Amino acid sequence: MSGEQWLVQDRSPQNRLQMKALTIIPGKANSASVQDVPLPAASDGSVLVKALELGICGTDFELISADYGWAPPGSQHLIIGHESLGVVEEAPENSHLKKGDLVVGIVRRPDPVPCAACGGGQFDMCLNGKYTERGIKERNGFGSEFWRIEEDYAIRLDPGLCDVGVLMEPASVLAKAWDHITRIGERAIWKPKTVLITGAGPIGLLAALMGKQRGLDVHVLDRVTDGKKPKLVEDLGGTYYTCSVKNVGFTPDIVIECTGVAPVIAETMAHLGNDGILCLVGVSSHNQKLELDLGTINRAMVLENSAIFGSVNANKHHWQMACDALMKADRSWLAGLISRKEPLENWQEALKRRPDDIKVVIQFSKN
Ligand code: BGC
């Protein structure tokens, strides 16, 4: 596609039948492309949003490499993108939204049964796995110039978050993790002081931010020895490590594992103290076989009351928690998590991993 074709498009939805969208064919590796597709169907929701930005994450790389992902029923293609930021173009009268509002879209939708969790608004805890997810599982995502959304699944943001609002989705995942860590901790008298976070990508750094906001001593471990990551941890008032977990020199009250790398997970499991909580949020790739002494792990867990649990996705309550966390955070620190913003025409560059990347964002338009 020539550069000119990208530029001459009329950006208003009224005069257009088509829009550009970042699509894949689920199950077919390296099928990512930008296609002209019809404007979003009214059945996607009553609120029409003009896309501003889209964050790229590890799940998108799994989708692109055909390790994950499902197209909407009856379609071969899936519009990807679940880390959204947009501006309302049209909203129904009497809605809590109006034209010009800054919004992000909730990713998951309840299963149609619905199970007890989905029926109670906790679709992040779906019991039967029949939930759907925008840009991931059976629903088109937010990687298109316009998208539609149901009013109830659009979160309005303070305009002050316009530069960093694209971090809301990963922040919602961490808000849930922290919510559940707290619930588990409160099974007994619990006065945590330290959190160890493995992995200093966007998820690990947002975990660190929320740990700081909870008044904890924050420790972050990553294999990268210099550059933005150690600096961001230091700026947060945390301590940065590149050693192995067993050499950090203390026993953390809470561990948040964000790498998904088997040997790191095993080390965190072996490094829990009394009443310790290990929350797993990093999604591992398949086939990472590792020999473990389960007897020793079980013995320590039982005798020390430790808890290991996994956490995925987020419900509406967590999206509000994420919004509060971003509002309270230092904006320039948050902006530092976004290492690159690439215009849509550079989408191929955006999908290439660079060593100093933290969060890469595709820019659809400017507000
Ligand atoms: C997303 C979650 C989603 C999960 C599994 C993650 O990348 O942030 O919202 O539930 O993938 O599909």
43 found inside a domain: yes
Instruction: Give the C-alpha separation, 128 to 165, whole Å.
Output: 31
Closest residue CA from atom 11 of ligand 1 = 59
Query: Closest ligand 1 atom, CA of 107?
Result: 9
Residue type, 243: C
All residues at 6 or more sequence positions from 218 whose CB lies less than 8 Å from its CB, including other chains: 195, 197, 208, 211, 212, 233, 236, 237, 238, 239
Q: How far is the CA of 6 from the centre of ligand 1 (A)?
A: 30
Q: How far is the CA of 82 from the centre of ligand 1 (A)?
A: 8
pLDDT at position 6: 47
Q: How far is the CA of 210 from the centre of ligand 1 (A)?
A: 19
Closest CA to 201 of 309, 311, 281: 281
Closest residue CA from atom 12 of ligand 1 = 136
Closest residue CA from atom 10 of ligand 1 = 313
Q: How far is the CA of 57 from the centre of ligand 1 (A)?
A: 9
Look at the chain and report how many structural domains it folds into: 2
Strands 254-257 and 277-280: parallel
Q: What is the CATH number of the domain that holds 231?
A: 3.40.50.720
Q: What domain range includes position 103?
A: 18-164+337-363
Verify that 153 and 189 share a domain, yes or no. Answer: no
Q: 180 with 315: CB under 8 angstroms?
A: no
200 found inside a domain: yes
Q: How far is the CA of 14 from the centre of ligand 1 (A)?
A: 32
280 found inside a domain: yes
Q: Among all chains, which residue has been given the structure tokens 């809470």?
A: 254
324 found inside a domain: no
Task: Name the 3-class secondary structure at 300.
Answer: helix
Q: Six-digit token pair at 162?
A: 């316009």
pLDDT at position 11: 61
109 found inside a domain: yes
Q: Six-digit token pair at 320?
A: 């509000």
Q: How far is the CA of 139 from the centre of ligand 1 (A)?
A: 13
Verify that 75 and 194 share a domain, yes or no. Answer: no
Q: Using the Cα atoms of residue 327, residue 331, residue 337 and residue 339 in order, give the sign of their dihedral.
A: positive
- Picking from 292, 310, 328, the residue at the C-terminal end of a domain is 310
Q: How far is the CA of 295 from the centre of ligand 1 (A)?
A: 32
Verify that 150 and 182 share a domain, yes or no. Answer: no
Closest residue CA from atom 7 of ligand 1 = 59
pLDDT at position 10: 54
Instruction: Give the C-alpha separation, 343 to 289, whole Å.
Output: 39
pLDDT at position 15: 74
Verify that 206 and 88 share a domain, yes or no. Answer: no
Q: How far is the CA of 16 from the centre of ligand 1 (A)?
A: 32
7 found inside a domain: no
The set of protein residues with a Cβ atom below 6 angstroms from ligand 1 is 57, 59, 82, 107-108, 133, 136, 169, 173, 312-313
Verify that 158 and 127 share a domain, yes or no. Answer: yes
Verify that 342 and 259 share a domain, yes or no. Answer: no
The whole-model pTM stands at 0.96
Query: Closest ligand 1 atom, CA of 83?
Result: 8
6 found inside a domain: no
Verify that 150 and 192 share a domain, yes or no. Answer: no
Q: How far is the CA of 255 from the centre of ligand 1 (A)?
A: 20
Locate the DSSP E strands across the chain: 18-24, 33-38, 47-56, 78-79, 83-90, 102-105, 108-109, 132-134, 138-139, 146-149, 154-157, 194-198, 217-221, 239-241, 254-257, 277-280, 307-310, 338-343, 359-363
Q: How far is the CA of 20 from the centre of ligand 1 (A)?
A: 23
Residue type, 162: C
Q: Six-digit token pair at 331?
A: 């904006």
Instruction: Give the C-alpha separation, 331 to 242, whole Å.
Output: 27
Verify that 190 and 278 share a domain, yes or no. Answer: yes
Closest CA to 258 of 318, 311, 307, 212: 311
pLDDT tens string, the chain, 367 residues long: the values are: 434 344 445 567 777 789 999 999 999 999 999 999 999 999 999 999 999 999 999 999 999 999 999 999 999 999 999 999 999 999 999 999 999 999 999 999 999 999 999 999 999 999 999 999 999 999 999 999 999 999 999 999 999 999 999 999 999 999 999 999 999 999 999 999 999 999 999 999 999 999 999 999 999 999 999 999 999 999 999 999 999 999 999 999 999 999 999 999 999 999 999 999 999 999 999 999 999 999 999 999 999 999 999 999 999 999 999 999 999 999 999 999 999 999 999 999 999 999 999 999 999 999 8
For a mutational test of ligand 1's pocket, the pick from 84, 312, 319, i.e. the residue with the most ligand atoms closer than 8 A to its C-beta, is: 312
Q: Six-digit token pair at 302?
A: 């039982």
Verify that 289 and 347 share a domain, yes or no. Answer: no
C-alpha atoms less than 13 angstroms from C-alpha of 366 in its C-beta half-sphere: 3
Verify that 143 and 185 share a domain, yes or no. Answer: no
Closest residue CA from atom 9 of ligand 1 = 313
C-alpha atoms less than 13 angstroms from C-alpha of 248 in its C-beta half-sphere: 27
Query: Closest ligand 1 atom, CA of 59?
Result: 7
Closest residue CA from atom 1 of ligand 1 = 313
Q: What is the CATH number of the domain that holds 143?
A: 3.90.180.10
Q: Six-digit token pair at 212?
A: 């700081």
Verify that 156 and 242 share a domain, yes or no. Answer: no
Verify that 353 and 294 share a domain, yes or no. Answer: no
Query: Closest ligand 1 atom, CA of 60?
Result: 7
For a mutational test of ligand 1's pocket, the pick from 125, 130, 313, i.e. the residue with the most ligand atoms closer than 8 A to its C-beta, is: 313
Which region, left, alpha or beta, applies to residue 320 given φ > 0 means left and ψ of -120 to 50 means alpha? alpha
39 found inside a domain: yes
